[in-house]
Structure formats: C-alpha cells, structure tokens
Structure 1
Amino acid sequence: MRIGFIGAGSMGSLLMGAFIRSGALQPTQIVASSRTRSKLSALAERYPGLQLASSNRGAVMDSDFVVLCVKPMDYRRVIEEIASSLTPDQIVISITSPVKLSQLEELLPCKVAKIIPSVVNGVGSGATLFMWGSRLSAGDREELLRLFSSISRPIEIEEEEVRAASDLSSCGPAFLAYLLDDFILAAVSMGMDRQTATSLASEMMLGTARLLLEYPCTPAELQAKVTVPGGITEVALDVLRKSTRGAFMDVLNTTHEKFAEDLDRVEGSLFPRERT
C-alpha cells in the first residue's frame, strides 16, 4: 500500500505520524507534498524513509490512497493540479467537511471518500467520521475502515450529519479543553498548584471517558453514580446546570451558521463559472 498526502500542516502531519506510530504504515509507504518545504523536511527527519514529492502530482502517482489535507479554499487549485494524473482505481480522501462528495466526484475521475479526523487520533483515540462516495466498492470501504481503525474508532455517518458529528468529535476536544481549563483555574484560585490541578483534571477526564465507553453508562447515569442526594456534588451540579443551560445549543447554532457560509464559499470556489 502507498498513500500520498497533499498538505503537511497540523492535521496532515498528525495523521502521518499516527499511522506510523501505530504500525499501520511504514514511512516508506508514505509520500507527501506541501507548498512549505520546511514542513516536509521536518517530517522526513522525524520519520526516516518517508518520501517527499516535489509536486502534488508526484504525491498522486502510484498512490493507492491520496489524502487531501489542505484548506477548503485551496481545493480547486489542488484538484486542477492532480485530476489528470488520477486513475479510476485510486481513492481520494477529503478530510474537510465543507467539500461535498458530489462535488469531488464531479471534478475527479477516481473514487472518493470523506473522512473527518480528530486531533485525538494523534494518540490513537477518538473517532473518525466516514462518508462514502458512490464509486467505492465494499472492499474499498473495508480497507479504509481497517486502516483508520489503527488510530481511531471509525464511525459511519450520513453526509448531512457531518456538522453536528464534527462538533462532537473534531471541535469537541477544544470545547472540553476550554471548560477543563476553567475548572483548573477555579481550583488554582482555591490555592491548588496548577500542575497538580491539571494532572488531576486530565486523569479525571480520561477516566470519565473510559467509564462511559467501557462500563458502559450514559452521561446521566454517571452523574447519578457520583451524586449523593443533598450532597456536595448535587448542590454544585445545580449551580453548573443553571450557569450552562443552553450553552451548547448556542455553540452548535454558531457552528452550523458558519458551516453554511463555508459551504457557499467552497461551492463558489469549486464551480466559479456556475456562480457568475
């Protein structure tokens, strides 16, 4: 298997590193291209044997999978560079949600899939969101699921669900890290050492996730397990509920509004003549 990565920014380099550390891929099975040569040089130094392409076309040639790790507004430029080099048997993987599968299939001669990763895939945790193009065979799907299972839990969704699903799996680490940092700062204000508070909070979050997934139990059931009627946790939870009621609905309304804007901008970028 040979995989080409176009783009070596934060997510591209994270995925390459995760696949290599998991043992799913050897560095020699990866070829990467990027407009920033320093990023490629750093990857090659970190993972000896990783191949560097001099162009995006070079990353496509002879690759079974091609992972597009570029910004949505850069897709048109990249597609124009690589489309003529792609064959019907190759699979292009998009990791950005505003670019639709139907758009990719209209512009590319190959098979396509949309797979949305998360920053926590870098440590072999979290989910990856899978959406399938119409040209993929059952064998293609199995191969992609097997590959990403090495660094995540693949979850198949409908493309219409991608925004809410991405809010949970991809944006969620930032949202929870914000809340956790606020929790830590509150503990520090009560006299606790910050490093100790951070360690306690991080271990708590890890253990909470494991309970939810491995026990298993629902978030409501977990609250009930910790809460004693009339006790400290119950009183504090009441304060927390009042302070945060509706907050995540506001968050998701905001992400959906921004996503609608991004969809329109990406469509205009990919099909400029149809928009005039």
Structure 2
Amino acid sequence: MEPAKRIVIIGGGKMGEAILSGWIASDAAPADTIEAKDIVVVTPGIDRRDFLEGMYAVACVGSPSEVTVRPDLVVLAVKPQVMMQVIAELSQEELFCDGEQPALFISIAAGLETARLVHVLPEGSSLVRVMPNMPLMVGAGASCVCASAASTAEQVEYVAALFGCLGRALVVDEGDMDAVCAVSGSGPAYVAAMVESLRDAAADAGLDRQVAEDLALQTVLGTAQLIMETGMTPEAARESICSPGGTTLAALDAMNAAGFDKVFRAGVEAAVRRSKELAQL
C-alpha cells in the first residue's frame, strides 16, 4: 500500500508522543517518508499541545472537529475507558468519514477487541490493532500487531513495518493480545521494578545507591543483548552463569524459596484478567 502522508494521532499522551517522535526520527522504511508536517495531534490540554508543537513541530488541535485535512492514517492512542466516546466524536466529522477514501485506523488500546471497534468506526474504515510498549520512545519498543475483519494482509504488513521502525514488531492472532499486553505491554514496568529492588538491596548491602542502579541497569541491558545476539535460551544463559556452590546459585535458591517464579506468574495473570475486563467497558 502507499505510505501514509496525512496522519492524525488521537491522544497526545506518552504513547502518542513516543509514536510520533519515533516515526519523525526514523530513517527506516516505511516511516522514513513521514515528516512533522504530515502529522496532526488531537489532544485536549493546551499545555500539552504547546509542548508537542514546540518539541516536534507537529500541528496540534483540541478536538477532532478542528482537524482540517482528510487523514489516510488515524492512530487511536487514548485509554480504553474513553475510546468509545472518542470514536463517537470523530464519527461525526466529515473528514473522518470519507466513504470513497476511508482511513486506516490503528488502535493501541489494551483490551478492546477489533470487532467492537469496527462496529462503531466510520463506515468503510479499516482497522489494525497494535499493542506497543513504552521503549518505543528510544527506538527499542516491542509491539504486536493483529488483523481485524476490516483489514487486509497488506495493511497489517504495513502497520507492522511502521512499528518495526520503532523497535521490533510481531504479527500475532488477536486471541493472543491479552497475554501480549501482560508480557510486553506492561513488562517494562516489571523490569523497572526489578531494577529498583536490585538497587535497594545492593544499597542495603553497603553499595553506593547510584552505582547500584547503574550496575542493575547495565546488567539488564547486557543480559538481554547476550541472549538475543548469541541465540542462547534464557535457561542456557542462567545455567552458564551459575557455578556449583557459588553466589549465583545461592541467590537464586533464596529467590525461589521466596516465591520468585510465582511473583511473575501472578503478575501476568493479573494483567491478563484486567485486559479482559477492559474489553467489557
């Protein structure tokens, strides 16, 4: 399909900002054709609009009624709780309801299934669903993309390529999206919490707090690179670091005794449940 040249992002929060900044900065296809002048952000707060305009030179408006160009790509970057209200508003605007040249919509809302969104979007619109995560802001995102009944394989491929410019993007079945939300969507917060715990524990053991944080961060980054670049499995990497009778095994034994594996399982299960609950809003 032809690259999008008129993009409207509904929602100028952190994720909307991450997406627009990443696309503008990217020199990888297909995002390499996107420029600041191609993007309009719809976000209600005047302070936020001023910030985005000043930082990225994109146009910002307060509501869909203020958009003056017919978009060919619309990113729905609002919370699930307000998604239906937002779609109702833009469905009243002629520029979003061009039956001859309908827009491609991208929803990044957790929990909301495509069948529900397609039913309320302007007639003839296409929809692709994406679950991104916050590391998009530094070009290291993990995004999953799925089709809807109102999308083509070419559109799904295009959206996956767009988000692939911001890190890594995988195409999955929609039935996997609740688990995706729980693993990669929420996962950066789990990793940040783990770094906090490592830092605090090391500080309690006498290490300088900033040194502890720097070491914890580099260890997370380095371990991920080790596994990805060598092709090792996480299990193989763990086992290669453990020496019989050593400090690492002693630490892992203590963590497992404290319920280490159960903590992550409980977190993922809770996030999956909440994602399913959001689908009912």
The change in CA–CA distance for 1:245 and 1:73 in structure 2 (over 3 A counts) is closer
Bigger Cα displacement from structure 2, 178-187 vs 140-149: 140-149
Amino acid aligned to 1:87 = D
Aligned-partner Cα distance in 1 for 2:162–2:68: 19
- 2:110 is aligned to 97
Shift of 1:59: 4.2
Q: Deviations over 1:250-270 (max 9, x none)?
A: 112222332333222x2xxxx
Shift of 1:58: 4.1
1:182 aligned residue (197, 200, 204): 197
1:66 aligned residue (74, 81, 85): 74
- 2:254 is aligned to 239
Amino acid aligned to 2:254 = V
Aligned-partner Cα distance in 2 for 1:47–1:260: 35
SS at structure 2 position matched to 1:66: strand
TM-score (normalised: structure 2): 0.88
1:254 aligned residue (252, 270, 274): 270
Q: Root-mean-square deviation (CA), in Å?
A: 1.7
Amino acid aligned to 1:132 = A
- 2:87 is aligned to 79
Aligned-partner Cα distance in 2 for 1:61–1:75: 22
Aligned-partner Cα distance in 1 for 2:179–2:9: 26
Can you give the 5+ residue segments of structure 1 that lack an aligned partner in the other structure? 267-276
TM-score (normalised: structure 1): 0.90
Aligned-partner Cα distance in 1 for 2:237–2:171: 26
- 1:273 is aligned to none
The change in CA–CA distance for 1:59 and 1:101 in structure 2 (over 3 A counts) is farther
Between the aligned residues of both structures, percent identity stands at: 28
Amino acid aligned to 2:156 = R
- 2:152 is aligned to 137
Amino acid aligned to 2:50 = S
The change in CA–CA distance for 1:213 and 1:138 in structure 2 (over 3 A counts) is same
Shift of 1:208: 0.7
Asked if structure 2 preserves the Cα contact closer than 8 Å seen for 1:15 and 1:122, the reply is yes
Aligned-partner Cα distance in 1 for 2:67–2:254: 54
1:20 aligned residue (11, 20, 24): 24
Asked if structure 1 preserves the Cα contact closer than 8 Å seen for 2:87 and 2:120, the reply is yes
Bigger Cα displacement from structure 2, 123-132 vs 10-19: 10-19
Amino acid aligned to 2:166 = I
Instruction: Map residues 22-41 of structure 1 onto 2, 5 A cutoff.
Output: 22-23=26-27, 24=31, 25-41=34-50
- 2:140 is aligned to 125
Task: Compare the two structures and name the one with the higher helix fraction.
Answer: 1
Aligned length: 264
Q: Deviations over 1:114-140 (max 9, x none)?
A: 111100111111311101112322332
The change in CA–CA distance for 1:95 and 1:60 in structure 2 (over 3 A counts) is farther
Shift of 1:68: 0.8
The change in CA–CA distance for 1:164 and 1:241 in structure 2 (over 3 A counts) is same
Bigger Cα displacement from structure 2, 91-100 vs 18-27: 18-27
Shift of 1:155: 0.9
